[in-house]
Structure 1
Amino acid sequence: MLRYTTQRTASLAITLSGAAVHAALAIQVVALWRSLKWEPESEWESAHDEWRVDSIKVLWALLSAYFASSAVVSALGFYGIAKNKPGYIRFYRDYSIADFAVSVISLFSATKAVLYKSTRAGVCEELSRQPEIIRDLGDFGLSLENCERWIERASMLCFALVVVVLVARLHCLLAVSKYYRMHIARQQPPPLPLNHLPSPTSPTHPGPQRIYLLPQERANPSGEPVIYAPVPLSTLSPQDQARAKEAWISHGHRHHRSRSHAHHQPADTGRIVLPISPGEPLLPGYASQDAKA
């Protein structure tokens, strides 16, 4: 009980912190979106770099939607844990697994892209059009002269930080998954004991035999007889095992047949049937033959 309570408290803290962090990041991304300068400075730049601005806007919008959706899913996970809703917890777990996989792939893809000089040159060119960002990052050593080298070092630092964050997220994901399994195990009844069931063909159990019946899922309006087929209990799912009803049957028909056969056997033993005609004596007349002699 203490272990379950600890896992539940940890899962509540994980989902609540995830909702708060992702919501704060979504707000920051939207605020930065409004502060960026998207208008070109001349008509030549407008015709030349229109596709680049549009692609950056799409990526920025996807980033904002990602943080917002992550905040909503984390809030749903917190609600599911607080209200004991397994469906919400399972949805949060599945989303977190997919999010973790996409984050790992995106991390290595972005790191590989930054290694190319053309990518760093394109980023520096875009930063040169954002004087506010250059001014804000100037305290960290960024300038137009050392932009490419600064981006390369900053990318390696961000890679290390993101790896640490991914490891922490993996531990949180495992904790929530463990709590979900414990929660499902607490809601389901214990499985039926398989090792204590007598074997149907075992001759050492002459008494009643325990069986388990599954409830009929569909009604039988025609009134036709239902055939019960023996199925091994180990092949049933845990849900079917939980719905099974215990019953007892007796295999006494074999013993009854043997006792009935033994009862009628003495009456049939020694009976002789002779084909004789009506009025014919059972034994020949020995007395009449002696008189003639």
Structure 2
Amino acid sequence: MRSRMTIPKFATLLITLSGALLHSFLALKLAVSWPGVGSLEAETEYDNAWRSDGLRKLYLLLTLYFVGAAFVSLVGLLGAVRGRPTHVKLYRDAASADLLFTLFIALVAGVAGARTSSRATCDAPELAPLLPLIGAVLAPFLPSQLAPDEACERYLSTLGIGAASALLVLGVVRVHFLLAVNTHYAALVAAESYPDAAADGVQRIRLLPLPRGVAPSDIVYAPVHIPPHATAAAETWIRAPDAEAALAGDDAGLLDVSVVRTKREWI
């Protein structure tokens, strides 16, 4: 069942399409660089260098992560296009778990970057050939000219905090998109609850909130044209009586309906 285009649906399509393309690209890049992982150990002669099997396991885990994320994003994209709430729910739950994991990694990176012991990594012999390059790259951003080892320490001390800050900002953006995904999922579930609404005589209307100081008994409702995404509107399903029965009654011309269900909308 397809639904009309709304802001939550557009946000769902955008984040699922972006996730599918980005994670597929990263998984492909890791797969292409897989043959070069084995040659890294042969070119490294230090005793404390990473083992080839450990690096391969890390590459394999990252590749599986990106492939799984791309698959889940593709499922969510198909669910948003075809109006399948189960697929959208699967993406919402998986993306929420991934968001919590990302925030945890950001917290760990921030704590690790603030630790003084992490700066001892600059003394590792593997980084000795890279110290001049690190100093040249960071020279324009440092207040004064520093030695390569000092530039490396300054770089490592701020790398964890910078990465954690970037992940936190990205997490805030993802939270807003997940809220839109959840809103679109709720709309799909509500629309699926009454698939035969027209045949059953059930119609969906929206009621705007009452003005302040006005009693509900003093309000006469009349159909007016409002945008479908009216702010703070209440979605109500009603069942109207037969036209012949309404005309035969004493209150002909008045709106006599029975409320089937009411749901608050937050868009």
Please report the TM-score for the alignment, with normalisation by the length of structure 1: 0.53
For residue 39 of structure 1, what is the aligned residue in structure 2?
Answer: 42
Once residues 193 and 125 of structure 2 are traced to their aligned partners in structure 1, the CA distance between those partners, rounded to angstroms, is 57
For residue 13 of structure 1, what is the aligned residue in structure 2?
Answer: 14
For residue 234 of structure 1, what is the aligned residue in structure 2?
Answer: none
Q: Deviations over 1:192-217 (max 9, x none)?
A: xxxxxxxxxxxxxxxxxxxxxxxxxx
For residue 189 of structure 2, what is the aligned residue in structure 1?
Answer: 184
Tell whether 2:137 aligns with 1:139.
yes
* Cα pair distance change 1:14/1:129, threshold 3 Å: same
For residue 27 of structure 1, what is the aligned residue in structure 2?
Answer: 28
Runs of 4 or more consecutive aligned structure 1 residues displaced over 6 Å after TM superposition: none
* Cα pair distance change 1:40/1:2, threshold 3 Å: closer
Q: Deviations over 1:150-178 (max 9, x none)?
A: 12122222222111111111111111111
Larger Rg: 1
Q: Give me the identity figure in percent.
A: 28
| Matched letter for residue 96 of structure 1 | A
For residue 87 of structure 1, what is the aligned residue in structure 2?
Answer: 86
For residue 59 of structure 1, what is the aligned residue in structure 2?
Answer: 58
| Matched letter for residue 27 of structure 2 | A
Aligned-residue CA RMSD (Å): 3.5
Contact 1:124/1:147 (CA < 8 Å) preserved in 2?
A: no
Contact 2:109/2:164 (CA < 8 Å) preserved in 1?
A: no
Aligned residue pairs total 186
* Cα pair distance change 1:106/1:166, threshold 3 Å: same
| Matched letter for residue 11 of structure 1 | T
Once residues 97 and 56 of structure 2 are traced to their aligned partners in structure 1, the CA distance between those partners, rounded to angstroms, is 24
Once residues 52 and 61 of structure 2 are traced to their aligned partners in structure 1, the CA distance between those partners, rounded to angstroms, is 14
Unaligned runs of 5+ in 2: 142-147, 198-267
Once residues 67 and 171 of structure 1 are traced to their aligned partners in structure 2, the CA distance between those partners, rounded to angstroms, is 22
Contact 1:15/1:74 (CA < 8 Å) preserved in 2?
A: yes
| Matched letter for residue 42 of structure 2 | E
For residue 151 of structure 1, what is the aligned residue in structure 2?
Answer: 156
Local SS of the residue matching 1:39: helix
Please report the TM-score for the alignment, with normalisation by the length of structure 2: 0.57
Once residues 22 and 4 of structure 2 are traced to their aligned partners in structure 1, the CA distance between those partners, rounded to angstroms, is 27
Q: Of residues 168, 178, 181 in structure 1, which corresponds to 2:173?
A: 168
State the shift of 1:92 in Å: 0.7
Local SS of the residue matching 2:124: helix
